[in-house]
Chains A and B, each alone.
Chain A
Amino acid sequence: SQQGEEDPQALSIQEGENATMNCSYKTSINNLQWYRQNSGRGLVHLILIRSNEREKHSGRLRVTLDTSKKSSSLLITASRAADTASYFCATVPANQAGTALIFGKGTTLSVSS
């Protein structure tokens, strides 16, 4: 069953603007990961945040995690045309047998120059 759900489904911004994507999930998690997928390509891992962390940075990316609200956000600052892609959150449910990463449907980000 779907665990993570991204919001919005689609986002269009201008270069230089910030882009914020949100992810909500249903059950307790071990960690939450964000991935990017360019058109016609595979997924690329961006960042992993553990359940005991609240914020994490990687370059222009900032991820927050609020376990009380079961939500996470991905902020891309000073966006570039090359950031145009689909972004997925994936959760690893706590206390779940198996190793499945459960993905949401993704947010499609379009950055125009």
Chain B
Amino acid sequence: ETGVTQTPRHLVMGMTNKKSLKCEQHLGHNAMYWYKQSAKKPLELMFVYNFKEQTENNSVPSRFSPECPNSSHLFLHLHTLQPEDSALYLCASSQDLSGAPNQPQHFGDGTRLSIL
């Protein structure tokens, strides 16, 4: 396994629901990332955290709210989503951002989100 665990693996929700995606890494990394993967589109970076501090928000709508309580856990809180938000949401981690350009990222298997 990759050492990055995402739950749930699948989630179906209505547009008015509130739900959360969870990511946990067991690699001792300090940087964590949320990506969105839609069909026929490149992977899109959403948020980056380094040592629990958010360092990047890639113009993500406020209906997505990230939380990083510690270096091992990352959440993505969802509310009032739109049908176009249906996608695979991937979490990744790397050692930290000091050597970020030359570090590989380790990905979880994602949460397949469907908005009704």
Interface residues of chain A, those whose CB is within 8 Å of chain B, are 2, 4, 30-31, 33, 35, 40-45, 48, 50, 88, 90, 92, 98-106
Q: Which residues of B contact A (CB under 8 A)?
A: 2, 4, 6, 31, 40-43, 45, 48, 55-56, 58, 90, 92, 97, 100-102, 104-110
Given contacts A30-B101, A100-B56, contact A42 B45 (CB under 8 A): no
Take A99-B55, A101-B105 as given contacts and tell me if A42 and B42 are in contact as well, using a CB distance cutoff of 8 Å: no
How far does the alpha carbon of A112 sit from the alpha carbon of B31 in the complex, in Å? 38
Q: Are the CB atoms of B40 and A105 closer together than 8 Å?
A: yes
Q: Closest B residue to A38 by CB, please name it.
A: B109
Chain A residues with Cβ below 8 Å from B100 are 92, 99
If A2-B42, A98-B56, A100-B56 touch, does A30 touch B110 (CB 8 Å cutoff)? no
- Given A99-B48, A103-B42, do A41 and B109 touch, yes or no (CB 8 Å)? yes
Q: Residue A42 contacts which of B48, B56, B101, B108 (CB distance < 8 angstroms)?
A: B108
Residues from chain A with Cβ under 8 Å of B56 in the complex = 98-100
**When the two chains form their complex, are residues A88 and B43 in contact, meaning their CB atoms are under 8 A apart?**
yes
The verdict on A43 contacting B90 (CB below 8 Å), with A30-B102, A104-B42, A105-B42 known, is yes
Rounded to whole Å, the gap between the CB of B5 and the closest CB of chain A is 10
